[in-house]
Structure 1
Amino acid sequence: MPKLRAFEKHYGTTILPTRPYTPRHKGKVERGVDYVQENALRGRTFATLAEQNDYLSHWEATVADLRIHGTTRKQVRAHFLASKKGALMMLPLERFANFQEARRIVSRDGHVAIDRAFYSAPPEYVGREVWARWDARTVRLLDSELKTIAVFARSEQGKFNTKSQHIASEKINSIERGGSYLLRKTAFIGDCSARWGQAMLREKGIRGHRVLQGLLALSKKHRCDQIEQACEIAWRHGDYQLRTIRKLIDRSGPVQELMPFLDDHELIRPLADYDRYVHECVQDKLTY
């Protein structure tokens, strides 16, 4: 287990587990427990744990350490001082952190659940198994090689703890990207729209992000020149309401196409013909 490996690393030691279903490999370990139970504790009762510990400490110094060991044929204390004590290292200043750990599958929303609180993992781990390690203050997520991939402070039940770098880019909406991102997109409509958007944000602050989203949505239904004209009028009047932009667009009709004026065409009579016709009409009127 990862916790066992962390324990070994903390104390600079190695644990050699016995093979399953081979009790003969545990004989020496089990015999030490039997020796204490049969020699020190058999037939004795203690009123408190402190009383029992005091008794065992005295028994170890006066009995267990002075006996001749059945395998080495040497006194236990003397053999320890001569060949074992010098190889021991100093214990770490801090005790091993008594954390809990378990495997967790990263859910489709990118989080793992620990004590009914939720902690995010990098998007590439969605659907994969990670190790979760937690204590009273900290939650750590580790990969299959026990390398830390995320660290969180413990939080209350029901809360989601999501790091921004764990959100896939396609899942970040325009509101989360901020006003600068929205203004850059507004500039594609035109200069008037960008100028109106900047002035609107200065007045409304973060509330203006929704307004910019609405303005961008208008570009899917109306031509850019219509939006530009509406934004120019609204900006000149200091009006930064999206509904004003909508009304101005609705009131603006289609742009009238201007036809070039032709001086000469096969279907158009020369002006001299009209001049002659008018002259003849005047002469006839004078005759009558």
Structure 2
Amino acid sequence: PVGSTTRRLSFFVMVLCNSRMIYVEFTVSQTMEHFLACQQHAFCFFGGVPQKVMVDNLKSAVLKRAIGQAPIFNPRYLDFANHYGFTIVPCGIRKGNEKGRVESGVGYVKKNLLSGLDIPDFKVMKPIAEHWLETVANVRVHRETGKKPVDLFEQEKASLQPLPVEAYDVAVINQVRASRQFRVTVDTNRYSVPAQLSGVGVTVRQYPDRICIYHEGNLVARHVRSYDRRQDFELPDHPKELLAQRRKARDQKLLMRFLVLSDKAEAYYQQLNERRLNTLHHIRQIVALSEIYPLEQVQRAIDDAFIFQAFSCEYIANLLEHRTRPARESGALHVTRRSDLLDLTIAQPNLGIYDYSIMEDEDDNKGN
């Protein structure tokens, strides 16, 4: 199992002839980048490079082999060998016995490590292989030598060549064109590139553990390689340019709708900008009002707002609401004709009480 799918399990074996020190690496692919990377990892595991490497006549190493003729090596593998300084020794045609040590190693892996092994997911194979090499394969007493490979290796490693300063670039390079959805496809999986590269030719470098994508010599995307199938992988920054373009186009369309509302709309827009307001917010609200109220009323509201130097969507909304609110008609004046209100009889007031109060005040003053 690999993610949501299943793949055929393969493994690479390299055995040193003298000590029988073994290196094992599991893969789910046998393409060139895996073939080269597995040997590269083996050299790092041994801490050096042997003088000669014997290989099968597989196409990754030998393109053509005929009896009595010199083999034609795969140019990529030959370049790899030259970089690490070893000589390629291909087996004779149909003579697998010439590399019996590694064939025995393959059988040993199948019988000792893989037999009855439950594999829940491919990602567990790397730690399993490392643990097996350290605790079983390279510390056992070998049947042929009678000694532990790890002990004999102490003598053999002096014969290994030192590793080069720079590791060989094992990537397989392809020129592809990004899709309209700014994706490139590798082994049925889709990987994103920056949105501005939609439909543009890019260079894809396929490594066993990663996918690197270049445009005009610059690295524009780096993804962890997936061995699942038909999955989509998008980096968060890649759609930003597309979203910005869409937002810009949407804002431009909104502005065009606003400018046709009135002859004063362009000047109104400039005034909003000069006042450093959230221009798009006000324009968006005014355009929304034009979908509710008749165009003539919106046009008049903008014209009047410009005259009064009132630059905001709230003022436009208040004008429209006020002018569409029905005005109350003045009611008729009703004069009452009830006889009990019109024919009133009021008794004459008695003013004598004021004279009586004055006489009393005069008497009091005389007594004092």
Question: Which is strand-richer, 1 or 2?
Answer: 2
Rg larger for: 2
Fold shared, TM-score > 0.5 on shorter chain: no
Say which structure, 1 or 2, has more relative contact order (CA 8 Å, 6+ apart).
2
- What TM-score do you get using the length of structure 1 for normalisation? 0.42
Question: Which is helix-richer, 1 or 2?
Answer: 1
